[in-house]
Amino acid sequence: MITSNDQELDDLISGIYKELKIEGKPRFNHIGPLWDAEPFYNAGARTMYINSRGYDDEILPLWHRPEDLADTVRPELVENAFKILSKLIQYIQEL
């Protein structure tokens, strides 16, 4: 789940999914709190709150649970999150 009020950042994430051929599509939320990013957003910074939820709410719910262990979380979800965030950081460094 990606919470953002910045279409350019949303487009960047969508492009990363396509470039990396990540299964599924990013889900965007343009309403609601930006959670950890909110103070920065309120101060005028461009922000995005990213939460890896897997392919649906049941595979990997929004919040961590005690049963979220190395043998219960699908490795490809962790790998996808790493790839996406690594590519995002690479793009930011090139700005």
Among 2-16, 21-35, 47-61, the minimum mean pLDDT is found in: 47-61
Task: Provide the 8-state DSSP code for 92.
Answer: H
pLDDT digits (tens, 9 = 90+) for 43-89: 998 888 887 766 666 666 666 778 888 888 888 888 988 999 999 99
Please state the domain count of the chain.
Answer: 1
Q: Kindly state the helix (H) or strand (E) to which residue 86 belongs, with its residue range.
A: helix 75-93
Q: Which of 24, 48, 45 is nearest to 35 (CA)?
A: 48
pTM to 2 decimal places: 0.78
pLDDT value of position 60:
66
83, 43 contact by CB (below 8 A) = no
What percent of the chain lies above the pLDDT cut of 70?
A: 85
Tell me which residue range forms the domain holding 71: 2-93
Reference 48, options 87, 11, 19; nearest CA is 11
Q: What is the pLDDT of residue 87?
A: 96
Tell me: pLDDT of 27 over 80. yes
The whole-chain average pLDDT of the chain stands at: 84
Tokens 């790493």 identify what position?
A: 82
Q: What percent of the chain has pLDDT over 90?
A: 28
